[in-house]
Amino acid sequence: MIIVMKVGAPEEEIDRLTEELTSTWNLTPEKIVGRYKTVIGLVGDTADLDILQLQEMSSWIEQVLRVEQPFKRVSREFRHGEASEVVVDTPSGPVPFGEHHPLVTIAGPCSVENEEMIVETAMRVKASGAKFLRGGAFKPRTSPYSFQGHGESALGLLAKAREASGLGIITELMDAADLDALAEVADVIQIGARNMQNFALLKKVGAQDKPILLKRGMSATIEEWLMAAEYLLAAGNAKVILCERGIRTYDRQYTRNTLDLSVIPVLRSLTHLPITIDPSHGTGWADLVPSMAKAAIAAGTDALMIEVHPTPKKALSDGPQSLTPERFDRLMNEELAVIGKAIGRWPSEEPAAVLA
């Protein structure tokens, strides 16, 4: 349920209402300051609340509305139709994700393999215009015999790449026991597809402060995905970015997953949270990535996550879907820039030319 305040409602009146809702009504109100209006969100047992009685609490109340969706805090209705932004602090300054901001690009290898490759990739993708370096230290692999990631030592290498490049770092957390060590280097904590419904992990990550990139489970419905995001917000962290990475359908021969680009307009209407598209895991093949990245920008994504490896053929994981730094540079500056500029969402500062 939400209480929409009239434009210009005095701060003291909002505080008084919040206090009364807590003490007399036993609710947990959340103040959400939007661009135009302030909304007080109410979650919990609101089914029996009388809308008219709530409305009479103050003449500064414009409307009291029920949120009809099963997801509450993540729903667009909860913010009275306004998009939220997630601002991530990076060594080069704050980077905002959201509907009213330029496209953000995240690039890097599937796994952190060694210092030279991660630092080189960071410098190259930065020169092409990426704002974040991705790279897994802890890898969720289907086979226990596949490369599992270098673990904590790879976090140290990400820290070096962060320092050398000034890029923000996005890396996956698989086990809550690694949270503190990972949060020291990560500017955004990734929850992977396989852990989207690991509710114990979601509660722990939601209870800390770093922004979170929540990937869609490979067989998750949109509602299940948004309910997973709801866990994070319910635990106290509203800095959540959603990431579509392809879902399991029937073709395994020509595509690894089916990239569901229709989620962009669907999510836009259902939630205020920023949207990222990962065409690398979404397709599984490097030559399919550019087309899907272009389509994602045209469809209105807020961010892209693209796997880039200095020598994809030698990659320890996901080589077939990784672009070379040269191909990534061409994609960014010749292909994506055209579409990004046409829809007014290309970052304004010109990225420096990549040194071959």
Contact residues toward ligand PEP (CB under 6 A) are 110, 136, 140, 192-194, 215, 245, 281
Per the rule left: phi > 0, alpha: psi between -120 and 50, beta: everything else, 257 is beta
Shortest Å distance, C-beta 315 to Mn ion: 9
DSSP secondary structure letter of residue 74: T
Residues paired with residue 306 on neighbouring β-strands, in sequence order: 107
CB of 280 to ligand PEP, least distance (A): 8
Nearer of residues 107 and 127 to ligand PEP, judged by Cβ:
107
In degrees and rounded to multiples of 5, residue 273 shows phi and psi of: -75, 150
Q: CA 71, 98, 93 angle in degrees (round to 5)?
A: 125
Partners of residue 106 on adjacent β-strands: 132, 305
Nearest to 27 by CA among 17, 48, 42: 42
CB of 72 to Mn ion, least distance (A): 32
How big is the CA angle at 325 (ends 121 and 333), to the nearest 5 degrees? 120
C-beta closer to ligand PEP: residue 193 or 292:
193
Q: Specify the residue, 95 or 247, whose C-beta has the smaller distance to ligand PEP.
A: 247
| Interface ranges with Mn ion (CB under 5 A) | 110, 318
Closest approach of Cβ 198 to ligand PEP, in Å? Answer: 12
State in angstroms the smallest separation of the CB of 135 from ligand PEP: 9
Which of 136/312 has CB closer to ligand PEP? 136
Using the structure block, give the residue that is written with the tokens 């609340």: 49
Pick from Mn ion, ligand PEP, none: which does 16 bind, CB < 5 to 8 A by kind?
none
CA distance 351 to 332: 10
Q: Which does 10 bind (CB under 5 to 8 A by kind): Mn ion, ligand PEP, none?
A: none
Please give the residue whose beta carbon sits closest to ligand PEP in the complex: 192
Angle (CA) 79 55 6, round 5°: 50
Judged by beta carbon, residue 173 or residue 331, the one nearer ligand PEP is 173
Number of continuous H segments (helices) and E segments (strands) in the chain: 12, 14
**Taking a C-beta distance cutoff of 8 angstroms, is the pair 218, 195 a contact?**
no
| Between 227 and 243, CB nearer to Mn ion | 243
CB–CB of 329/127 below 8 Å? yes
**CB of 24 vs Mn ion, minimal distance in Å:** 52
Token digits of residue 317: 């994981």
Q: Which is nearer to ligand PEP, 230 or 278 (CB)?
A: 278
Look at residue 193 and give the partner it binds from Mn ion, ligand PEP, none, a contact being a CB closer than 5 to 8 Å depending on partner kind: ligand PEP
Residue 192 interacts, among ligand PEP, Mn ion, none and using kind-specific CB cut-offs from 5 to 8 Å, with ligand PEP
Q: Cα–Cα distance between 244 and 276 in angstroms, integer?
A: 6
The least CB distance from residue 317 to Mn ion, in Å, is 6
